[in-house]
Amino acid sequence: MKSPDFVSLLADSHSRRSCFCSLVPATSLLCLVFLLGNAFIAPIYKEKLSIWGMTDTLHNLNFNKCKNQCRPNGSEALPEGIVSKTSNLEMRPLWGFPKKNESSKVNLFAVAVGIKQKDLINKMVKKFLSNNFSVMLFHYDGKLDEWKSYEWCDHVLHVSAINQTKWWFAKRFLHPDIVAEYGYIFLWDEDLGVESFSPQRYISIVQSEGLEISQPALDPAKSVELHHQITARGRKIVHRRIYKHGESGKGCDGSSTAPPCTGWIEMMAPVFSRAAWRCVWYMIQNDLIHAWGLDMQLGYCAQGDRTNNVGVVDAEYIIHYGRPTLGGGVGDGNKTSSSAKGHTVKTKNISSTEKAPSHSHSHFKGPRVDVRRQSYIELDIFKKRWEKAVQEDKCWVDPYK
């Protein structure tokens, strides 16, 4: 005979099974009601979300996931694959396409020119074109027709603006995105001799030496003007500093770490890597067209240690003829910033260690006096802007202090 406890346990077991069986159809019914209700309610709910602006929020979240924040400003409305971020200075035919065997120009040579220096410019353009450079001429005298007699005239780019310096042109026409396809940008003055200079050998040297900012050395025997000792040609392949005795610790020795002793070049014939130029372009002030003071800060754009990445190439050198150019004569504002105080080699040019010339106490005549004075004014403005920028930018850290 079964005990009472066993009978009670059996009853409980039957009760639980009966309860579970009754829950199954109830749960199925609830699921069916939920699915049917969702089909009718979801559109209405979505419409309400749209009214409340919730769909925009969801869209914005998806927008961020697609990395639109990395796109160029203004291109967000376009599909990413159609966005063309860069350009170059190569000319295209009106119909058809360039021949496949024509190699693209990989470096850029840009120079401010006047017709009076056409003999020097002709030699420079021929040399750089033959070395597969794109060439861009900045005409500051407005005389373009006089260049048509040269066979290369239609193969270079011409930009004309009266009485503007190469830095004015560079700021407006050499934006980093426009010249992004060029490995190196040569931005030279016009009164230079290139008889002993090879652009390709020069590029090979700066690449092997890791120079981001550089210049060819000046031949001291043939150059009419030599503004700074560090630019004079030495016996090495490359030099990055000078050694010079000076009073009160103003000399240059092996322990020097700042311009003009090291990490410095002149602005007469600078050569910039692509990365360095992107930085330098932003430092060029739109309204300071003589670029005085820029040379002392170039090291910040050297993509690393300025004592290693800035240098003068001795193996490939040029000649500085010191001819009258923009401004009317020797020592004009388009030549060099000459802002390396206390380290200027004796030349015809006025050093920045002297006071700005006045009309009554200068051997310069005509507009040259005004150009020189403006250069000093711009130097002072640039220095003050730099100091103010350093003070105001709390996130910037000076790597050299």
pLDDT beyond 80 at 36: no
Q: For the residues 71-80, what does the mean pLDDT come to?
A: 88
pTM here is 0.76
Candidate CATH numbers 1.20.1090.10, 3.90.550.10, 3.40.50.300, 3.65.10.10; the one for domain 107-320: 3.90.550.10
Kindly report the number of other CB atoms within 10 A of residue 317's CB atom.
24
Task: Enumerate residues 6+ apart whose C-beta is below 8 A from 358.
Answer: 369
From residue 126, how far is each of 135, 156, 189 by CA, in Å?
10, 10, 16
| pLDDT band, very low/low/confident/very high, at 67 (cuts 50, 70, 90) | low
Q: What's the whole-number average pLDDT of the chain?
A: 82
Q: For the residues 283-295, what does the mean pLDDT come to?
A: 96
From residue 58, how far is each of 47, 49, 53, 62, 149 by CA, in Å?
14, 10, 9, 6, 64
Per-residue buried b or exposed e for 190-216, using 16+ beta carbons within 10 Å of the residue's own CB: bbbbbeebebeebbebbeeeebbbbbb
- Name the amino acid, one letter, at 354: E
Q: For the residues 295-313, what does the mean pLDDT come to?
A: 97
Domain-wise residue ranges, the chain:
107-320
Two structure tokens written together for 139:
């005409």
CA 388-275-165 angle, 5° bins: 65
Give me the pLDDT at residue 350, please. 34
- Residues 223-253: tens digit of each pLDDT: 998 989 999 999 999 999 999 987 767 889 9
Give me the pLDDT at residue 102, please. 57
SS (H, E, C) the chain: CCCHHHHHHHHHHHHHHHHHHHHHHHHHHHHHHHHHHHHHHHHHHHHHHHHHCHHHHHHHHHHHHCCHHHCCCCCCCCCHHHCCCCCCCCCCCCCCCCCCCCCCCCEEEEEEECHHHHHHHHHHHHHHHHCCEEEEEEECCCCCHHHCCCCCHHHCEEEECCCCCHHHHHHHHCCCCCCCCCCEEEEECCCEECCCCCHHHHHHHHHHHCCCEEEEEECCCCCCCCCEHHHECCCCCEECECCECCHHHCCECCCCCCCCCECCCCCCCCEEEHHHHHHHHHHCCCCCCCCCCHHHHHHHHCCCCHHHHEEEEEEEEEEECCCCCCCCCCCCCCCCCCCCCCCECCCCCCCCCCCCCCCCCCCCCCHHHHHHHHHHHHHHHHHHHHHHHHHHCCCCCCCCC
Are the CB atoms for 284 and 328 separated by under 8 Å?
A: no
- Residues 113-152: tens digit of each pLDDT: 999 999 999 999 999 999 999 999 999 999 999 999 999 9
Give me the pLDDT at residue 33, please. 54
Task: Name the phi and psi angles at 228, rounded to 5.
Answer: -140, 140
d(Cα 379, Cα 63) in Å, to the nearest integer? 46
pLDDT beyond 90 at 69: no
d(Cα 258, Cα 252) in Å, to the nearest integer? 9
d(Cα 326, Cα 332) in Å, to the nearest integer? 7
Closest C-alpha to 278, from 390, 175, 397, 188: 175
Per-residue buried b or exposed e for 14-23, using 16+ beta carbons within 10 Å of the residue's own CB: eeeeeeeeee
Q: For the residues 52-69, what does the mean pLDDT come to?
A: 56
CA 344-230-239 angle, 5° bins: 170
